[in-house]
């Protein structure tokens, strides 16, 4: 026989001890008020730190862009052209037209790539462009190093060059 249960068998909800969670509200929490006060006190010091850590020490030009951002944009335009130039110089070296590899120009390119990598990026668009240019530099650098290693080990032969008697 099924058992019938009625609501009269249970006490009202006000007598049930677990009916309401014992969590203080946000406005009643003394620890939260203390943290909020500390955060308000730290706001001026955080603003100073952000200004010092921004590109150019917090200085901006009249357009509202950070001073370091202009230098980064200029580097992002120059580096692909320099990669192409160094690549052409390496091709001339590997084909035998040039006698020495373009070490000086490559050192300049390495410095430019390092400055791109170390300059703080102010937004996601600049970060993406910088990563794309740096990846192109890195893949070209790996290719040049591999071909130099192959040339030194004898796997690669220089095809053209001046005829020696």
**DSSP class per residue in 72-139:** HHHHHHHHHHHHHHHHHHHHHHHHTSSSS--HHHHHHHHHHHHHHHHSPPSSHHHHHHHHHHHHHHHH
User: Which pTM does this prediction carry?
Assistant: 0.58
Task: Please give the C-alpha separations between residue 14 and each of 7, 10, 119, in angstroms, as whole numbers.
Answer: 14, 11, 63
105, two tokens: 């120009």
- Measure the CA–CA gap between 161 and 53, rounded to whole angstroms: 52
Domain ranges of the chain: 68-153
Quick: pLDDT tens for 80-131: 999 999 999 999 998 889 899 999 999 999 999 999 999 988 899 999 999 9
Mean pLDDT is lowest, of 7-11, 19-23, 157-161, for: 19-23
User: Percentage of the chain surpassing pLDDT 70?
Assistant: 64
67, two tokens: 């001073």
pLDDT for the residue 147: 93
């Amino acid at each position: 026989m099924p058992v019938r249960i009625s609501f009269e068998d249970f006490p009202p909800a006000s007598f049930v001890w677990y009916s309401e969670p014992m969590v203080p509200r946000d406005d009643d929490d003394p620890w939260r008020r203390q943290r909020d006060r500390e955060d308000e006190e730290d706001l001026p010091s955080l603003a100073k730190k952000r200004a010092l850590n921004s590109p150019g020490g917090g200085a901006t030009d009249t357009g509202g862009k950070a001073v370091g951002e202009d230098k980064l944009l200029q580097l992002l335009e120059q580096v692909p052209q320099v990669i192409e130039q160094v690549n052409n110089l390496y091709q001339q070296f590997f084909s035998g037209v040039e006698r020495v590899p373009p070490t000086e120009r490559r050192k300049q390119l390495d410095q430019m790539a390092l400055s791109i990598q170390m300059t703080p990026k102010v937004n996601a668009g600049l970060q993406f462009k910088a990563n794309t240019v740096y990846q192109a530099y890195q893949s070209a650098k790996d290719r040049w190093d591999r071909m130099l290693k192959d040339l030194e080990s004898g796997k690669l032969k220089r095809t053209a060059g001046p005829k020696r008697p």
